[in-house]
Amino acid sequence: MDTSKAPAHVTRTAVIIEDESDIRSVLMEIFSAAGFIVHTFGTGLEGVEGVRHQHPDVVTLDLGLGDIDGFEVARRVRLFSDAYILILTASTQELDTLLGFEAGADDYVTKPFRPRELTYRVEALLRRPRTRSDSQIPSTAVQAEPASPEEPTTSFQTPALEALEHNGLRLSPRTRTVELSGLELSLTRSEFDLLLALLRSGRTVCTKLQLARILHGEQSGQDGYWSEADGQAVHVHVANLRRKLGDSALSPRWVETVRGVGYRLAVVQGV
């Protein structure tokens, strides 16, 4: 059953899929206070249909629903919607996070959550590019930004829209496409943005915090909300990216781990 609450002068819509009524009420208040039209659903099947009819900007999704689980809801929603999906989960298991991202989620927050953290993560998602487009260039993904004093200068500078190539991999910021040996790869927004950052940084190390800022569309974390979930999200996205590239953490061709720090581009290999 759909319940909705709409404040005045609202242009954004959120769908909440949560089987616990008290949490639904809390989420409705948080999103309403942030200026969203809010629709809530107590089951996964109702939630999928709610997304189909309401065309939301953001979906919050509980994994432990009574009928179909959150992973299946995310997969079904991704068949017809590019809404941002934020998973709410009581689990801290990496596997659950990995499965959520593979199903199409964009980010996750662990329960119990703080309203400020949830609001921050939603606003960060909304700053990210929604879809790949050949004619419209999402500024948050392709616009070169000056490095902050605490961030290292990139090892090479390149025009924001120039295609980047490395060891047979070609990434085009203009079309948001990635090709490997002439075949186009299907990457999520997060995977694309992380790969773009690594290609632009070259052999300069990108810390997990810097990569988390990129995912949130931030240049500085001073005013943001940061938690261990940020580093975990980066780790899982990189693992997904490696899997799609067919890359190995032990003998990397594209993404090299700098233990205890972050990631950088692997060395150029001979033809």
* Domains delineated in the chain: 3-126 (3.40.50.2300), 139-265 (1.10.10.10)
Given a contact cutoff of 8 angstroms between Cβ atoms, the answer to whether 43 and 87 are in contact is no
Q: Collapse the DSSP code of 113 into the 3-class scheme (helix H, G, I; strand E, B; otherwise coil) and give the result.
A: coil
pLDDT at 141 over 90: no
Lowest mean pLDDT segment, chosen from 51-55, 58-62, 226-230, 262-266: 226-230
Tens-place pLDDT, residues 9-37: 548 999 999 999 999 999 999 999 999 99
Given a contact cutoff of 8 angstroms between Cβ atoms, the answer to whether 30 and 55 are in contact is no
Read off the pLDDT band of 113 (50, 70, 90): confident
pLDDT at 149 over 50: no
Strand ranges in the chain using DSSP code E only, listed in sequence order: 3-5, 12-17, 36-41, 58-62, 84-89, 107-110, 164-166, 169-172, 177-180, 183-185, 206-207, 255-258, 262-265
pTM metric for this prediction: 0.59
Amino acid at 197: A
Lowest mean pLDDT segment, chosen from 196-200, 219-223, 235-239: 219-223
pLDDT at 195 over 90: yes
